[in-house]
Structure 1
């Protein structure tokens, strides 16, 4: 077992990040201990890393504990928790926009990534057109049936394992036939290497979007969700997202939902940090 202390520049609201992670019943989070256990997979080797918040909003510090692959673990945790992003620059950018009050209210909210790109894509397919409660239930059912548990932490099943499943097996968990086909189809592409998540990390947004949109079951919302929460891209604004539409309506006291033209106008000054505008708008109605 090794331990490492990580210090980053503030602000960074780790407690808020934990409370958002805790919404997913598959995540192993202890709010009181300020701890999350993160499942990591390196070349089919499964590792659990503990991340414990030991600092403050303005002076964020973390204690990392794991038992293997020190360098890869630290590198991946930096990606997941976006510790290289200096949130103060983003905060300052929004101080001269209409979202100033929103960014002051939710000061230091980080964009935390899904723990694994494949599971991120599968999760967003499962969540499509479902209410949040049942979406989490269905995802939990899927993972606890076909995934693996290590040290109290659940790992999503590998693409190879999901590719071997049948539509009937997923139907038994209450998947729709179509959703089952989509999940298995994505797993087949990932298992065969046609979907290369490692390569996507260095591809431009538009190129990633072109690759993903060709896949059955993947629409614009899923692509934007993946770019934001699997790859940590900073400049996404899912205009078709109902949560964002509702948040804009509330924040700007609009009569009805904003039109696409209104949204285009609103978002102009928020470039190049549209993902953070999205995140803070979602935060405002959570």
Structure 2
């Protein structure tokens, strides 16, 4: 068993992180202990769990990271997931005099936390397409509980090889639509067969990743933008087609209807180069 104390630059509000993570029923979050358990896999794809516990405050953030194996790789992955090497002070300063300054003041220190794996993120994005959030979580939970693994109290998404071997009817039994069943299984087959390599794609520019992934049946710009944002932590994405962002802007700017594309582009002009943080904070403002 290993433990590592990690101090990072403020501000960083881990309690808000836990609050958002707890919205997903698959996440193992203990609010009272200020702790979350992260599912990881080693080089041989064997599952193991890493625990992250908050010790400090928003203005003096410190964490205890612990696990049973793979110390160096686990710490590196934890840093990536929680974006501990990204300065939120720069982000807050950028938005201090912006047209959404009030939202940033209210959610000061909220980081862009990533999904726990790229394949997991892609599957979640596909499953969540065109569903209300409650049923999307229910469907994803059924998927993971039926085909995934349960290790030390933590749920792991199934590997792409396992999903690739399923029949469409296996997902239909869980109330997946016919097309969504095809999208999930066929995409997993492409990944399992090496025709799509997410690890190689992750270092490519946003435009290259978008161009490559939209070739996959059932993967459109919305899905890729969410992968870029919550899978890779790209800082300057603004998914204008997202209904949540449209509703948040309608509320914040006092509009009597959802903003048009042109209005969204105009209102968001000053948010560059941190459009992803604006997107996150707008979501948080109505959650």
Equivalent in the alignment of 2:236: 235
The reply on whether 1:42 has 2:4 as its aligned counterpart is: no
Give secondary structure in 1 for the equivalent of 2:268: helix
User: What aligned pairs does 1:72-83 form with structure 2 within 5 A after superposition?
Assistant: 72-83=73-84
Q: Deviations over 1:227-279 (max 9, x none)?
A: 00000000000000010001001101012111111111111110000000000
Equivalent in the alignment of 2:200: 199
Runs of 4+ in 1 over 4 A off after TM superposition: none
Shift of 1:96: 2.3
Q: Deviations over 1:136-171 (max 9, x none)?
A: 111111101100000000000000000000001111
- Unmatched 5+ stretches in structure 2: none
The reply on whether 1:247 has 2:248 as its aligned counterpart is: yes
Give secondary structure in 2 for the equivalent of 1:24: coil
Equivalent in the alignment of 2:2: 2
Shift of 1:194: 1.8
User: What aligned pairs does 1:21-170 form with structure 2 within 5 A after superposition?
Assistant: 21-43=21-43, 44-170=45-171
- Unmatched 5+ stretches in structure 1: none
Shift of 1:54: 0.4
Query: For the residues of structure 1 that align with 2:164 and 2:3, how far apart are their CA atoms?
Result: 37
Shift of 1:42: 2.4
Shift of 1:199: 1.3
TM-score by length of 1: 0.99
Which shows bigger deviation, 189-198 or 86-95?
A: 189-198
Q: Deviations over 1:95-149 (max 9, x none)?
A: 1211111110110011100001101111111111111111111111110110000
RMSD between superposed Cα atoms in Å: 0.7
Q: Deviations over 1:165-203 (max 9, x none)?
A: 000111111111100000001101111122212112211
Query: For the residues of structure 1 that align with 2:125 and 2:183, how far apart are their CA atoms?
Result: 11
Query: For the residues of structure 1 that align with 2:233 and 2:194, how far apart are their CA atoms?
Result: 22
Query: For the residues of structure 1 that align with 2:53 and 2:201, how far apart are their CA atoms?
Result: 29
Give secondary structure in 2 for the equivalent of 1:108: coil
Q: Deviations over 1:17-60 (max 9, x none)?
A: 00110111111000000000000112212110000000100111
Query: For the residues of structure 2 that align with 1:121 and 1:275, how far apart are their CA atoms?
Result: 18
Query: For the residues of structure 2 that align with 1:132 and 1:256, how far apart are their CA atoms?
Result: 22
TM-score by length of 2: 0.98
Equivalent in the alignment of 1:20: 20
Give secondary structure in 2 for the equivalent of 1:149: strand
Equivalent in the alignment of 2:260: 259
